[in-house]
């Protein structure tokens, strides 16, 4: 959940029972973890939504079931902005035709000018103060004769528009072997399947996949992700013959049916190969452009050292003139990300046109401690936050008072609890662990929005999503990405602090909830097995972890 609004804006990925294996607490043999996707919030949303349809008749543009006389509703739509097309008439005086108790939210169905089969990039829009404003995403219904969407408040006028050209470039890497996320595939303008790697002889290893559901361009990625592949790249660059072989292999891949170009991701080029890498990109780009194909290149973040900058083997000025798009890997550490990235952009601004640069954004969360920075999933972060430990050392019997704590959010042990980090623009928590204090930052739609805004405010071409696979352990943060793709803007919101407070649930007995991330549970009078759960939130979804405690009979 976010503030504003109070209800979750998207479903989370954790709707399956995860593996048990937690430790701490008495009699934990039945310890399990359940991750919720805001199901309660969804149910509440369905309760308050008042479905309302302005669809009527079979011709998609005729009679409407709004009052007795709907002729005043129909008008020619104002001119739509560049990059959009109008798929419906413009319905004016719309709010006046709606029952008074339907102020919102409301489900609205709008008839289209003619049935369509392509459901991509549809939205409900209203014309206000001389500008079109997006209300919500829309989906096709009634065999393509209408589009339906949910609006927060009923507008004065409404129409269905389709985005025909994105306001920004959004590409997405699809890891090898991963199934694509259907919603992400409808947003990205370029899909980069990571199916190929450089071979030592200059050819490519790997094979292509088919993408029957792809909406954007297909630009396969060639990535050197292992030390052996990095060695192959450096050997190729050092040999004119191998370099020529490699270029021809890449061009042939780009010319395969359905491909719009190639994407190069060689992050560990030896700095001694600086000139060779520039020459490689120059020749490759020329040949691809002659064949009407594109070239994008992923590059590591320049590192500041005193007053100078180290760009390693990568000449940003030269590469920016050759490639169609440069993808910039951001700083990994969330604690300094928004401090260092503006400095990086300031440095690059004099080297390359930032409108040819896309910021790489990840769906990963991060954990930092004295032993370094570790990439984790949102699933792992929430699992850590919701860990439970029983602190009562004796056997639990009927009517016993039991102290139970959230192991990693218990403030009296030095943990911070779930909180919004104004430096990292993300929900985080710190806890004492192996190697000392550890801090976790959770990546979700809230934190993504601030990264999108960073790209917008610095005039970048757009963003590159590091993983668009259908991966349940990663956040499904596609809605702010869709808004960014359609408008170039994104609403920013911090997590509601009230939502970040932990919740405890007990199957039986009673509880006294403490403010430090713990409870005192009074066991029921009847012996048996009872569940105690800790619910935490990242501001968007909720995660529940449950342990089972055995309550024995009182010995007389």
> What pLDDT does residue 196 have?
98
| Residue 135 belongs to a domain | yes
Percentage of the chain lying above the pLDDT 70 cut: 83
> What pLDDT does residue 519 have?
95
Q: Is 479 left (phi over 0), alpha (psi -120 to 50) or beta?
A: alpha
Residues 6+ apart with CB under 8 A from 214: 180, 185, 191
| Residue 199 belongs to a domain | yes
CATH number of the domain encompassing residue 454: 3.20.20.80
Query: How many CB atoms neighbour CB 478 within 10 A?
Result: 23
Closest-CA residue to 384 (of 7, 140, 33): 33
Write down the mean pLDDT value for the chain. 84
Q: Which carries the bigger pLDDT value, residue 108 or residue 407?
A: 407
Side-chain half-sphere exposure of 556, counting CA atoms within 13 A: 0
Task: Report the pLDDT averaged over residues 123-135.
Answer: 86
Is residue 363 over pLDDT 80?
yes
Residues 295 and 248 in one domain: yes
CB 483 within 8 A of CB 134: yes
Q: Which residue has the tokens 């489900």?
A: 107
Instruction: Indicate the residue among 134, 157, 180 that finishes a domain.
Output: 157
| Residue 146 belongs to a domain | yes
Domain that holds residue 461: 169-365+443-487
Residues 128 and 184 in one domain: no
Is residue 239 over pLDDT 80?
yes
Residues 175 and 232 in one domain: yes
The structure tokens listed for 434 are: 């192996």
Residues 130 and 216 in one domain: no
In this structure, are strands 32-35 and 17-18 parallel, antiparallel, or unpaired?
A: antiparallel
| Residue 44 belongs to a domain | no
| Residue 379 belongs to a domain | no
Residues 144 and 227 in one domain: no
| Residue 402 belongs to a domain | no
- Cα–Cα–Cα angle for 338, 373, 308, rounded to 5 degrees: 50
Q: Give the model confidence (pLDDT) of 307-322 as tens digits.
A: 899 999 999 999 999 9
Residues 71 and 212 in one domain: no
The structure tokens listed for 372 are: 């370094």
Residues 339 and 353: their CA atoms lie apart, in Å, by 22
Residues 75 and 130 in one domain: yes
Of 35-49, 189-203, 434-448, 507-521, the one with minimum mean pLDDT is 35-49
Task: Report the pLDDT averaged over residues 262-272.
Answer: 97
> What pLDDT does residue 475 have?
95
Closest-CA residue to 162 (of 244, 250, 83): 83
CB 411 within 8 A of CB 429: no
Question: In this structure, is the dihedral angle defined by the CA atoms of residues 171, 177, 178 and 180, taken in order, positive or negative?
Answer: positive
Residues 176 and 72 in one domain: no
- Cross-strand bridge partners of residue 196: 206, 222
- Cross-strand bridge partners of residue 431: 438
CB 539 within 8 A of CB 427: yes
Q: What does pTM read for this prediction?
A: 0.78
Q: Which carries the bigger pLDDT value, residue 378 or residue 56?
A: 378
Helix (H, G, I), strand (E, B) or coil at 354: helix
**Beta strands per DSSP E along 417-517:** 419-421, 426-433, 436-442, 462-465, 503-506, 510-513
Instruction: Indicate the residue among 157, 179, 203 that finishes a domain.
Output: 157
Spacing of C-alpha 137 from chain mean position: 17
Task: Report the pLDDT averaged over residues 23-46.
Answer: 36
The answer to whether the bond into 257 is cis (omega within 30° of 0) is no
pLDDT grade for 221, boundaries at 50, 70 and 90: very high
Side-chain half-sphere exposure of 377, counting CA atoms within 13 A: 13
Q: Give the model confidence (pLDDT) of 535-552 as tens digits.
A: 999 999 999 999 999 999
Is residue 532 over pLDDT 90?
yes
CB 263 within 8 A of CB 296: yes
Residues 169 and 465: their CA atoms lie apart, in Å, by 11
What's the total number of domains in the chain?
A: 2
Residues 150 and 174 in one domain: no
pLDDT grade for 216, boundaries at 50, 70 and 90: low
Residues 291 and 442: their CA atoms lie apart, in Å, by 43
The structure tokens listed for 483 are: 């808004």
In this structure, are strands 217-218 and 190-198 parallel, antiparallel, or unpaired?
A: parallel
> What pLDDT does residue 554 have?
83
Is residue 250 over pLDDT 80?
yes
**Beta strands per DSSP E along 48-153:** 50-53, 74-75, 84-86, 90-91, 106-111, 122-128, 131-137, 139-141, 146-151
Residues 221 and 327 in one domain: yes
pLDDT grade for 43, boundaries at 50, 70 and 90: very low
| Residue 543 belongs to a domain | no
| Residue 109 belongs to a domain | yes
pLDDT grade for 132, boundaries at 50, 70 and 90: confident
Spacing of C-alpha 465 from chain mean position: 8
Of 104-113, 263-272, 383-392, the one with minimum mean pLDDT is 104-113
Q: Give the model confidence (pLDDT) of 90-125 as tens digits.
A: 888 666 665 665 556 778 889 999 998 877 778 888
pLDDT grade for 138, boundaries at 50, 70 and 90: confident
Residues 110 and 63 in one domain: yes
Containing H/E element for 33? strand 32-35
pLDDT grade for 394, boundaries at 50, 70 and 90: confident
Q: Give the model confidence (pLDDT) of 145-164 as tens digits.
A: 999 888 878 888 889 988 77
Is residue 6 over pLDDT 50?
no
Residues 289 and 182 in one domain: yes
> What pLDDT does residue 58 have?
33
pLDDT grade for 129, boundaries at 50, 70 and 90: confident
Instruction: Indicate the residue among 458, 487, 516 that finishes a domain.
Output: 487
Is residue 8 over pLDDT 60?
no
């Amino acid at each position: 959940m976010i503030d504003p609004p109070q209800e979750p804006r998207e479903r989370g990925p954790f709707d399956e029972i995860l593996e048990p294996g937690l430790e701490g607490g008495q009699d934990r043999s039945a310890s399990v973890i359940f991750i919720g996707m805001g199901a309660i919030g969804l149910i509440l949303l369905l309760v308050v939504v008042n479905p309302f349809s302005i669809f009527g008749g079979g011709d998609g543009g005729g009679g409407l079931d709004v009052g007795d006389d709907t002729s005043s509703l129909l008008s020619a739509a104002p001119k739509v902005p560049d990059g959009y097309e109008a798929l419906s008439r413009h319905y004016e005086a719309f709010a006046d035709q709606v029952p008074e108790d339907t102020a919102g939210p409301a489900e609205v169905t709008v008839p289209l000018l003619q049935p369509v089969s392509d459901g991509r990039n549809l939205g409900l829009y209203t014309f206000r103060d001389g500008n079109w404003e997006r209300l919500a995403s829309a989906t096709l219904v009634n065999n393509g004769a209408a589009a339906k969407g949910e609006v927060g408040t009923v507008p004065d006028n409404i129409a269905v528009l389709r985005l025909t050209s994105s306001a920004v470039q959004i590409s997405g890497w699809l890891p090898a072997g991963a199934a694509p996320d259907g919603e992400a595939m409808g947003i990205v303008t370029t899909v980069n399947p990571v199916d190929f790697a450089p071979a030592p002889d200059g050819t490519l290893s790997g094979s292509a996949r088919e993408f029957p559901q792809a909406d954007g361009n297909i630009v396969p990625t060639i990535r050197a992700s292992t030390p052996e592949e990095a060695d192959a790249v450096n050997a190729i660059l050092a040999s004119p013959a191998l370099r020529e072989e490699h270029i021809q292999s890449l061009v042939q891949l780009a010319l395969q049916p359905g491909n719009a170009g190639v994407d190069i991701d060689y992050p560990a080029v030896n700095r001694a190969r600086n000139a060779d890498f520039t020459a490689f990109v120059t020749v490759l780009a020329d040949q691809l452009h002659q064949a009407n194909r594109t070239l994008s290149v992923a590059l590591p973040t320049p590192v500041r050292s005193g007053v100078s900058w180290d760009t390693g083997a990568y000449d940003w000025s030269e590469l920016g003139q050759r490639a169609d798009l440069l993808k910039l890997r951001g700083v990994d550490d969330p604690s300094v990300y928004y401090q260092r990235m503006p400095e990086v952009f300031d440095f690059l601004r004099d080297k390359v046109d930032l409108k040819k640069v896309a910021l790489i954004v990840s769906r990963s969360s991060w954990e930092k401690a004295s032993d370094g920075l570790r990439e984790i999933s949102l699933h792992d972060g929430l699992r850590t936050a919701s860990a439970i430990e029983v602190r009562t050392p004796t056997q639990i019997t009927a009517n016993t008072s039991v102290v139970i704590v959230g192991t990693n959010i218990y403030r009296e042990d030095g943990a911070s609890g779930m909180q919004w980090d104004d430096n990292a623009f993300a929900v985080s928590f710190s806890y004492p662990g192996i190697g000392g204090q550890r801090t976790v930052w959770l990546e979700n739609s809230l934190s993504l929005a601030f990264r999108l805004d960073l790209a917008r405010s610095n005039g970048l071409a757009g963003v590159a999503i590091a993983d668009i696979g259908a991966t349940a352990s990663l956040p499904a943060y596609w809605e702010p990405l869709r808004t960014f793709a359609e408008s170039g803007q994104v609403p920013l919101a911090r997590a509601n602090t009230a939502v970040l407070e932990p919740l405890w649930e007990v199957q039986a007995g009673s509880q006294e909830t403490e403010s430090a991330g713990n409870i005192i549970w009074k066991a029921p009078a009847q012996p048996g097995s009872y569940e105690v759960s800790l619910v935490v939130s990242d501001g968007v979804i909720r995660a529940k972890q449950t342990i089972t405690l055995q309550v024995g009979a009182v010995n007389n």
